[in-house]
Structure 1
């Protein structure tokens, strides 16, 4: 038995007070005269015995009352030998999950607020002088420091829900590095709903830490999210209604209905009401009429509660300029390229031969297509390399036969790659790379529903191991068909087969060929992107009408303003956000107090999937130096911490016994005489 405050045991000397009172108290008797007292003798003797017993019992009640009251203040505890070997922690780390999934409700209270209250309970349960580390999903370097109790409580009051998210492997490594830096051991409490996508890899906790997972989960898993939006046509038409697709997903455990509305300025238009089964996605449509000159800010919204961060999807429909395609051929234009975008007013095509190229126009092009060129002169090669240096896009279809030295020299200078042997063997395409920008979100249905092209002859490809190459379409024998290669500051798209129908059926598959050309052009001119997502640390591309005159530009909205870095390549400006935007909505690009572009930002949908690990599954995911609490211990978290820190604590029992003996004394004094 040990005592948290042993000096209070000095107060046990107070039991002398009732002893002295009882020992030196002499009851005075008054003489009463009776004619005959023989009949009272037995009564008197019985009363004296009863009075003596009463005094002894009252004395014992008072002594035990004082003893247990003093013990309650001294706080006795019995330390578990296995826990005593670990010793007290040098610091206590508390991770509070402040991601958007913590909007779920535990009873009538958001689980985030429950987590904050639990964190305060943990802090108050440790003795004075304990150091604390308060962590959230923002694992910045300043979070390595430890603070005292008052500062820790203040930090918790300042925590708010955030669009940032992290995984528990990063949290564990962050705390472990703190322990290594301080050469100390610590207790780590993880207060979270434990989303499955935040804990994918098992964690083995080493002996420098003791981790206490504290699952705080909503009573019901519910969430409907607007995941993405896109137009049916790769090139939406101006001045007519275009179909926009809206993808919604029900991440909850039960089927749900939701109402979709479309907001523009102050106008609200209902779109439809949809029913979505649990764990399923649906695609709805909306007709939107576009103009070639106006810029429109639209907001799509669904009704859903309590997780609301992904209920809105912001879209910026910018005024569209024409996409410019320059097609260089040997004098006979390819019929597939001639018919592509035939009636699309927003796409401008220009066909030239190598001897009639105006190289100064390269900077104005979104995509330069080399159509079955048999050779390439040094002038064209050097200007294409300059165009790639400025971030341009080149699509090369080589001529049939033996690859010319000029084309291979250009490929080597651009990306350390070259065309190899000419293989006359019929091969079918194996599939499309739906993960890449060129084919992502192009098709409503994938794989089996898309007819794939084939080739009758193609070149092998010689590429170095370090060549940054992505296969957009691969042949069934594993050889590349259409490749995406990072060349200098731009992108080179390389076909291993000529485009001519004699060798290649790609042109016959307009559902693949047309979107492919359009997305390749958009790889440079990304100003038509409907929306961006926060947290991707991506760049914003704009095409201002005039040259930038000021040295700086600003990003603004109603609540935020900052100066970003940017780079100009040709007629395009690439703006680097560097995670400076943390709120979804519409933003303006401003130069010299003049708005030159607008764009929309949405919260990442990473937190939308609210599927959680159960406490039983967590025991398999987090192993090693880990303590899991049962439901009773979770309900009395403060008591559990005190008992874990000191062992079995008895001060509450001592206080109860003190009250019992105090009540017993009162009962003896009142009723024993009767």
Structure 2
């Protein structure tokens, strides 16, 4: 035990005062005359022992009162065995994601509580300590450690961020070296268990402070999609809205409102079962402009940050498709893309191709071409280099070895027997919203095999043997689809199967530019727009939410790739402009994982930091609790309060002894 003010211990000399009072009784004896003292002797003998006991108890209580009163002024404490203040920098990570707007047990938002905790950490360290403050924005101030005063000023400017960071990203931002540092990680720990810290750390001390929320149930809009992916003027369409309830209680009469260009276009109510999902639909039978900024609104308290869901309904331009046909090519491609309201299809025979007339095609279909000449080979490579989509359908007659120049894994196959295709994996993102309803069993086509490519790529359809039938893979800057058999009736029944049209349409939708995509999430870094080549003076700009952003951009063929600055963007609408002309309207929403508010249990939090050797969870509910915790860690356990309580207790005992004994 140590003392904060040991000089007060000299006051223990005051213990002699009660002893002196006890030894010298200064009261003058008073004589009383009695005629017969025989009976008084007996009384005196029986009460003197009781009086001596009382005097000794009073003396002890007085000594104890003085002793503990002196101890209270000297402020004793028990030094901590493991707590120490390191002389190096301290790293502070503060989770300022939107989920931290939830209310804690004190009715204060989680971010406000976290800022208060950071302030207490600052107070606990010497003034010369430097602190690296990191938030989800990865703002420039987090690049280097700063003084205590600078960090206190930064805390007053913090606000919520739309960005969600994984633990690995956060650790990667920290300035860590060979010197031991204290790292305070303040978060609600609503991470996915599949996002652990990958790099090992045996040097630094990770102090994990979890912000607890009494309410973690949330209702949010999970997915929005159109019945028909093409929004055509004058044609009715349906907007489907999927809502999710993460709570353990049923939610009744939840209102859902739909707005188009800030005008309410529909309103519905629905019930949501616990941990369940429901889908609503809004008919789109109103007149729409070329670009329409829409949003869906729900009323869910106290979690408000995800009550608005933004989307754009932009009239769909026709998808430009170029088909290059072999001599015996099937007409299935011409039939499936025959709708002139949706597609702009140009077909050329392999021996008579006008490359210049349709060089801006978004989808290039190589349909059963027998021989691959140098011009066609160069055009396919150029299309992939420019970020376009290419579908290769092999010929049933022959296989040209030049296909390996397009994709090195391509090989000829001579299996002429029709083999049944296995059921597709409907969890594959390619098939998302591709069917109105998913059945357990679908009637599947059968096909021969004229081309193979091993296990490379994302296999959308497979033979029952496991060999790929339809595969999607990235090639150069574009997307390459490979089909194992021709569409001729003798080689495949695919073109007559119910899967054929939705799969071809999904390819075409994926091939077109950003127009037609309802929304993006703020964790997406790259997007592509169809437009003019950028120069030093002519650049694309994003305008919205009171901001004008010039993103990083690069021309790729007929498209322009934009690199989005995540730390600057917010949920809402952004107009894409080029030379002050509106090119596209985009909508951005928070990542869906941010609405999953259930924090990880303590053992799962520790598992996230399994590669970190020195880690601990600090269980506190408020900044005051953290202040007390840090004081006990660095200054030891304070005992002066207990000493003061004991001093008052013994004073009370003395009063009781004098009154009743």
1:96 to 94, 97, 100: 94
Where 1:639 maps in the other structure, the secondary structure is helix
Is the Cα contact below 8 Å between 1:77 and 1:647 reproduced in 2? yes
2:529 to 536, 541, 551: 541
Q: 1:378 to 1:580 in 2, by over 3 A?
A: same
Where 1:526 maps in the other structure, the secondary structure is coil
Q: 1:660 to 1:394 in 2, by over 3 A?
A: same
Q: Which residue of 2 aligns with 1:424?
A: 416
Shift of 1:482: 1.6
Q: 1:424 to 1:130 in 2, by over 3 A?
A: same
Q: Which residue of 2 aligns with 1:565?
A: 552
Question: Mean Cα displacement is larger for which, 318-327 or 528-537?
Answer: 318-327
Say what the alpha-carbon RMSD is for the aligned residues: 4.4
Q: 1:541 to 1:435 in 2, by over 3 A?
A: farther
Matches within 5 A, 1:261-660: 261-289=257-285, 294-330=290-326, 334-405=330-401, 407-408=402-403, 411-412=404-405, 414-432=406-424, 438-446=430-438, 448-461=440-453, 469-520=457-508, 522-543=510-531, 550-579=537-566, 581-615=568-602, 618=605, 625-628=614-617, 636-657=625-646
Q: 1:129 to 1:391 in 2, by over 3 A?
A: closer
Shift of 1:608: 1.7
Is the Cα contact below 8 Å between 2:196 and 2:609 reproduced in 1? no
User: For the residues of structure 1 that align with 2:466 and 2:240, how far apart are their CA atoms?
Assistant: 34
User: For the residues of structure 2 that align with 1:395 and 1:145, how far apart are their CA atoms?
Assistant: 49
Q: 1:205 to 1:271 in 2, by over 3 A?
A: same
For residues 18-73 of structure 1, the C-alpha deviation after alignment (integer angstroms, 9 at most, x for no partner) is 9799989x99999xxxxx9979xx9xxxxxxxxxx999999998987776555445
User: For the residues of structure 1 that align with 2:124 and 2:380, how far apart are their CA atoms?
Assistant: 69
Is the Cα contact below 8 Å between 1:370 and 1:396 reproduced in 2? yes
User: For the residues of structure 1 that align with 2:535 and 2:315, how far apart are their CA atoms?
Assistant: 19
Q: Which residue of 1 aligns with 2:217?
A: 222
Question: Mean Cα displacement is larger for which, 383-392 or 284-293?
Answer: 284-293
2:250 to 241, 247, 255: 255
User: For the residues of structure 1 that align with 2:608 and 2:561, how far apart are their CA atoms?
Assistant: 42
Shift of 1:283: 2.1
User: For the residues of structure 1 that align with 2:468 and 2:265, how far apart are their CA atoms?
Assistant: 47
Shift of 1:529: 1.2
For residues 359-407 of structure 1, the C-alpha deviation after alignment (integer angstroms, 9 at most, x for no partner) is 11232212121221111222222223223322222211111143023x4
Where 2:100 maps in the other structure, the secondary structure is helix
Is the Cα contact below 8 Å between 1:454 and 1:504 reproduced in 2? yes
Question: Mean Cα displacement is larger for which, 339-348 or 149-158?
Answer: 149-158
Structure 2: gaps (5+ residues): 35-39, 41-52
Is the Cα contact below 8 Å between 1:137 and 1:166 reproduced in 2? yes
For residues 129-152 of structure 1, the C-alpha deviation after alignment (integer angstroms, 9 at most, x for no partner) is 665554433456854755555444
Q: 1:182 to 1:512 in 2, by over 3 A?
A: same
Q: Is it true that 1:243 corresponds to 2:238 in the alignment?
A: yes
Q: Which residue of 1 aligns with 2:109?
A: 110
Q: Which residue of 1 aligns with 2:43?
A: none
Where 1:300 maps in the other structure, the secondary structure is strand
Is the Cα contact below 8 Å between 2:18 and 2:63 reproduced in 1? no
User: For the residues of structure 2 that align with 1:292 and 1:643, how far apart are their CA atoms?
Assistant: 65
Q: State the TM-score, normalized to the length of structure 2.
A: 0.83
Is the Cα contact below 8 Å between 1:482 and 1:496 reproduced in 2? yes
Q: 1:494 to 1:266 in 2, by over 3 A?
A: closer
Where 1:208 maps in the other structure, the secondary structure is strand
Q: Is it true that 1:208 corresponds to 2:203 in the alignment?
A: yes
Shift of 1:159: 3.2
User: For the residues of structure 2 that align with 1:250 and 1:229, how far apart are their CA atoms?
Assistant: 16
Where 2:432 maps in the other structure, the secondary structure is coil
Q: Which residue of 2 aligns with 1:46?
A: none
Where 1:601 maps in the other structure, the secondary structure is strand
User: For the residues of structure 2 that align with 1:340 and 1:291, how far apart are their CA atoms?
Assistant: 28
For residues 442-498 of structure 1, the C-alpha deviation after alignment (integer angstroms, 9 at most, x for no partner) is 2344473543322033322268xxx7x332222222222122232332222221211
User: For the residues of structure 2 that align with 1:557 and 1:204, how far apart are their CA atoms?
Assistant: 38
Q: State the TM-score, normalized to the length of structure 1.
A: 0.81
Where 2:566 maps in the other structure, the secondary structure is coil
Where 1:218 maps in the other structure, the secondary structure is coil
Q: Which residue of 2 aligns with 1:163?
A: 162
User: For the residues of structure 2 that align with 1:619 and 1:374, how far apart are their CA atoms?
Assistant: 60
Q: 1:627 to 1:660 in 2, by over 3 A?
A: same
Is the Cα contact below 8 Å between 1:391 and 1:524 reproduced in 2? no
Is the Cα contact below 8 Å between 1:415 and 1:488 reproduced in 2? no
Structure 1: gaps (5+ residues): 31-35, 43-52
Where 2:515 maps in the other structure, the secondary structure is helix
Matches within 5 A, 1:121-200: 121-125=120-124, 132-138=131-137, 143=142, 145-147=144-146, 149-168=148-167, 170-171=169-170, 178=176, 181=177, 183-186=179-182, 188-197=183-192, 200=195
Shift of 1:537: 0.9
Q: 1:371 to 1:105 in 2, by over 3 A?
A: same
For residues 575-626 of structure 1, the C-alpha deviation after alignment (integer angstroms, 9 at most, x for no partner) is 2214254211111122333333221111111212223323465566666544
Question: Mean Cα displacement is larger for which, 487-496 or 199-208?
Answer: 199-208
Q: 1:657 to 1:159 in 2, by over 3 A?
A: farther
User: For the residues of structure 2 that align with 1:393 and 1:319, how far apart are their CA atoms?
Assistant: 22
Is the Cα contact below 8 Å between 1:103 and 1:306 reproduced in 2? no
Where 2:214 maps in the other structure, the secondary structure is coil
Is the Cα contact below 8 Å between 1:212 and 1:627 reproduced in 2? yes
Is the Cα contact below 8 Å between 1:292 and 1:321 reproduced in 2? no
User: For the residues of structure 2 that align with 1:240 and 1:632, how far apart are their CA atoms?
Assistant: 56
Q: 1:21 to 1:470 in 2, by over 3 A?
A: closer
Is the Cα contact below 8 Å between 2:14 and 2:66 reproduced in 1? no
Is the Cα contact below 8 Å between 1:293 and 1:320 reproduced in 2? no
